[in-house]
Amino acid sequence: MQGAISDLPWWKGAVIYQIYPRSFRDTDGDGIGDLRGVLEGLGHIASLGVDGIWISPFFTSPMADYGYDVADFCGVDPIFGTLEDFDAVVEKAHALGLKVIIDQVYSHTSDHHDWFIESRSSRHNPRADWYVWADPKSDGSPPSNWQSVFGGPSWEWDARRGQYYFHNFLKEQPDLNLYNEEVQAALIAAGRFWLDRGVDGFRLDALNFGMHDRALRDNPPSGVQAHEATRPFNMQIHKYNMSQPDIVGFIELFREMLNDYPGTFTVAEVGGPNPIAEMKAFTEGEERLNSAYNFDFLYAPELGAERVMRSANLWDQSDEEGWPSWAFSNHDAPRAVTRWAPGEQRDEMARLYMLLLLTLRGNPIIYQGEELGLPQANVPFSHLKDPEAIMNWPKTLGRDGARTPIPWEVAKPHAGFSSAEPWLPVDPEHAKLAVDQQQGNDSMLRFTSEALAVRKRFEALLHGKMSFHEVGRDTALVVRREASEGAIIALFNFGDAPFAIPPGLVSSGDVVLSSRPLKENLLQDQAVPARAGVWVRVD
């Protein structure tokens, strides 16, 4: 089993590290991270033992949604650097053995994009149908009742055209008309541009928002009441403003282009309350995408065995089925260790969560700072930047607290992120967890590297089948990963008291990694300590 070699594609079971470049590292002293900062930080990322990086948007943008409002799909925003800086990142990443994945945002653009500026200029210009335009109802109200993710109606009146345009997100993010074949061709050409520059694949943002019901029918109510919702969006079932079956046709066209670049990897972000059918449709067979992930864990307010098993068991692991990816934290969700663990337990639980993420069958996605055990940062209201965080304050933790700068050196101003005041403040609690403070063997950083190294030794953890042994309590989880070379039993105790291992489950084997020191011989004691995860190799 040790040193197993697989002929499967590189991405199957690969661990991807997400870089939010705005907060990764600043090299030009403007308080905003940049591509040169990514370049400087690649050595740190490679030392973890991950297989690739995903870089969140660095494209030309007015930054209404901090880069997810793209004004030029083939340009680098000056705050991040230049195309030459990006090329240098790709070259160094590849030299370090890292694949490079970048975001592609195909459901919408910025209202500053040349395409939209032309589209809104009249009803008869060459790009008039590149966005979703509609006449008002006879009373002047919007064409449908659709609500935007960020609050308020999904329709914005435009006096120049005398029509409403559709936006699932901010009004500064008009939705593309992905039914239009010229739009499809333009987006595919943008993807080809980056592949020609050496990227190894894409994370496709908000992909299931890419198409709408062309009849513009009203969404039905979800049953969520106003006092229960943080935004009107939650009060509807999103039957018509997203998740249309024709998205699969565009995916297949996109895959045809990707086939010209062997070895590429594509992962779709699929949001919504019941996304599994779309995730499977987007990744089915050899003519669509490689992988998909959703928000099962990203928005979960707590974590236990039942939630893990329910999410993982949605995939039947058949050969025809797509391949899942998993994320516990990212730039769109409050950090997991804050959502799931009391403050005094976060150091221990951060290790447990990392071990669990690396146990699940699929591609683990580690969000920057997760390897340091960073909790959600405290960002005062006066410093908030994210429009969603401002709108929902103080009812939600918001996204800004997950987007604050990475702490590199505790003794330097702003923890070494920048020589200037950062765009978001560095939390003093984060500075204590800086990279230079975590070089000891007992640090979260060292544990992450060790866990990644151990994982690579076992085919079972990389590609093996996954099953669960139910123990009847939500604070205990037993996972079996199995390949032809052998198996790993992963035991997790989310609770505050030792968890007795079910009789006969692990009678012999070797403990290959534990998130906490084991004072006793686990196999003799037959108990997992409180707040601990353990990998045991069995034959």
C-alpha count within 13 angstroms, C-beta hemisphere, residue 514 = 17
8-state DSSP, 317: -
- In whole angstroms, what is the distance from residue 125 CA to residue 130 CA? 10
| DSSP assignments along 506-521, one per residue | SSS-EEEEESS--SS-
Cα(506)–Cα(18) distance, rounded to whole angstroms?
Answer: 35
As given in the structure block, the two tokens for residue 56 are 């969140």
476 beta partners: 493
Q: Are strands 363-367 and 16-19 parallel, antiparallel or unpaired?
A: parallel
Q: Is 450 a catalytic residue?
A: no
Given the residues 34, 77, 205, 371, the one annotated as active site: 205
What's the one-letter identity of residue 137? K
* Sequence-separated (6 or more) residues with CB below 8 Å from residue 498: 527, 528, 529, 530
Residue in the structure block whose two tokens are 């053995």: 97
Read off the amino acid at residue 344.
E
Scan for tokens 């030792």, then name that residue: 498
Q: What is the side-by-side strand order in the sheet with 163-166? A: 133-134, 163-166, 155-158
Give the Å distances, CA to CA, from 214 to 20, 62, 130, 166: 35, 29, 14, 12
Q: Is 269 a catalytic residue?
A: yes
Is the C-alpha dihedral spanning 340, 343, 344, 347 positive or negative? positive
Pick the catalytic residue from 269, 278, 371, 400: 269
Active site residues: 205, 269
